[in-house]
């Protein structure tokens, strides 16, 4: 799009002066300007506000008129239009500096004293039109730039989301038991985030980043990660390092989606009472995305069968969440999860576990 080669716009000028002679003289002078002008002539100031809309380019206004003074009209105009949107040139027989300053303070863009010089009037009108065109051009340029930035941002976020999905697939290939689990955790997290009242953007990012919550486990030795039985104390300490590994893995990538995935991976094992890991955060000090994913991750782990354990019933799993309310989990999140359990179970049914 070339903003400099657009079709010329019709310039709509309104002249408001109670003197018919002055209106006609000004209109005649405007005809000599080498621009496409559409001139509206008004001699009753009570009608001028009805003539003004977003299509009007310039108002030429007298100050001393019956019914309404130019000052009063200016004040009304400036409640609706900025000086950049609708420039006003005041033409008045009041030539004293006090009147000029008052008019400019009231919102006039320029001031011309009567009797006015034809050449001066033309120049001042042309100047205001050029200034307004410059503002319009700047506005169009800003709008075009904003569109391009939004497009580029969208493309980057799409690429980042693709990267997040690919990384989640890497984690899935590393542990074939995690495939449906990470999908469910993402969906559960999106539901809980939205029910909590988080914005759609934040909820969407949590949903998309949640499958990355255990990404750090790809850096845990296989003999520990895939051990079928209970981990020893030393092995458990190594396993807990997956949140630290995730922090190193994601590092300080500028993408907000990656940073969301990092936050979830690092904080989803923190506990409401401060007994979690790796930082021992407590209560609202734990980022909400970590709290949300931490809760749904536990629920899904409990209700999913693994080679080394049977799946818990939904009732027992929900009771466990309630029992851990106030210690492991934020009571508000637990209540919200239970309240919307039917929606959670619909997701669970839509993404069933593969047969072992």
Rg of the chain over Cα atoms, rounded to whole angstroms, equals: 34
Catalytic residue among 187, 217, 262, 271: 217
Tokens at 84, concatenated: 């950049």
Q: DSSP assignment, residue 211?
A: G
Burial 100-112 (b: 16+ CB within 10 A, else e): bebbeebbbbbbb
CA dist 94 and 98 (Å) reads 9
Closest CA to 71 of 88, 57, 52, 86: 88
Closest CA to 136 of 82, 63, 187: 82
> Any catalytic annotation for residue 217?
yes
State how far the alpha carbon of 188 is from the alpha carbons of 137, 176, 193, 242, 292, in Å.
48, 20, 9, 22, 9
Give the 3-state secondary structure of residue 48: helix
- From first CA to last CA, the distance across the chain in angstroms is 58
Maximum pairwise Cα distance, the chain: 101
Peptide bond into 173 cis (omega under 30): no
Give the 3-state secondary structure of residue 314: helix
4-8-10 Cα angle (round to 5): 145
CA dist 71 and 75 (Å) reads 6
CA dist 51 and 84 (Å) reads 18
Helix ranges (DSSP H) in 175-241: 179-195, 200-209, 222-225, 233-240
Phi, psi of 258 (to 5 degrees): -65, -40
Tokens at 192, concatenated: 């809980």
CB atoms near residue 211 (< 10 Å): 28
Q: DSSP assignment, residue 32?
A: T
User: Which residues carry out catalysis?
Assistant: 217
């Amino acid at each position: 799009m070339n903003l400099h080669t657009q079709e010329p716009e019709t310039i709509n000028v309104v002249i408001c002066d109670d003197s018919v002679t002055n209106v006609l003289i000004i209109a005649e002078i405007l005809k000599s300007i080498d621009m496409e002008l559409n001139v509206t002539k008004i001699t009753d100031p009570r009608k001028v506000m009805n003539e003004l809309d977003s299509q009007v380019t310039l108002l030429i206004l007298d100050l001393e008129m019956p019914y309404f003074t130019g000052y009063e009209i200016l004040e009304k105009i400036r409640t609706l239009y900025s000086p950049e949107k609708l420039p006003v040139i005041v033409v008045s027989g009041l030539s004293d500096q006090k009147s000029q300053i008052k008019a400019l303070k009231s919102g006039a863009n320029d001031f011309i004293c009567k009797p006015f010089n034809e050449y001066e009037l033309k120049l001042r009108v042309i100047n205001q039109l050029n200034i307004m065109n410059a503002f319009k051009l700047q506005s169009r340029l800003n709008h075009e730039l904003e569109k391009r930035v939004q497009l580029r941002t969208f493309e980057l976020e799409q690429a980042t989301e693709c990267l997040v999905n690919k990384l989640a697939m890497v984690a899935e290939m590393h542990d074939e038991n995690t495939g449906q689990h990470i999908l469910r955790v993402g969906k559960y997290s999106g539901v809980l985030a939205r029910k909590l009242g988080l914005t759609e953007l934040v909820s969407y990012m949590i949903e998309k980043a949640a499958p990355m919550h255990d990404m750090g486990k790809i850096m845990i030795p296989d003999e520990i990660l895939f051990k079928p039985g209970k981990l020893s104390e030393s092995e458990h300490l190594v396993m807990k390092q997956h949140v630290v590994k995730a922090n190193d893995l994601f590092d300080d990538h500028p993408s907000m989606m990656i940073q969301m995935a990092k936050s979830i991976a690092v904080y989803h094992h923190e506990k409401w009472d401060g007994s979690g890991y790796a930082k021992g955060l407590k209560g609202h000090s734990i980022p909400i995305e970590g709290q949300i994913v931490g809760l749904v991750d536990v629920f899904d782990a409990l209700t999913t069968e693994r080679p080394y354990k049977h799946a818990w019933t939904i009732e027992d799993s929900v009771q466990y969440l309630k029992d851990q309310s106030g210690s492991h989990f934020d009571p508000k999140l637990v209540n919200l999860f239970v309240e919307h359990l039917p929606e959670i179970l619909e997701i669970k049914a839509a993404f069933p576990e593969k047969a072992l």
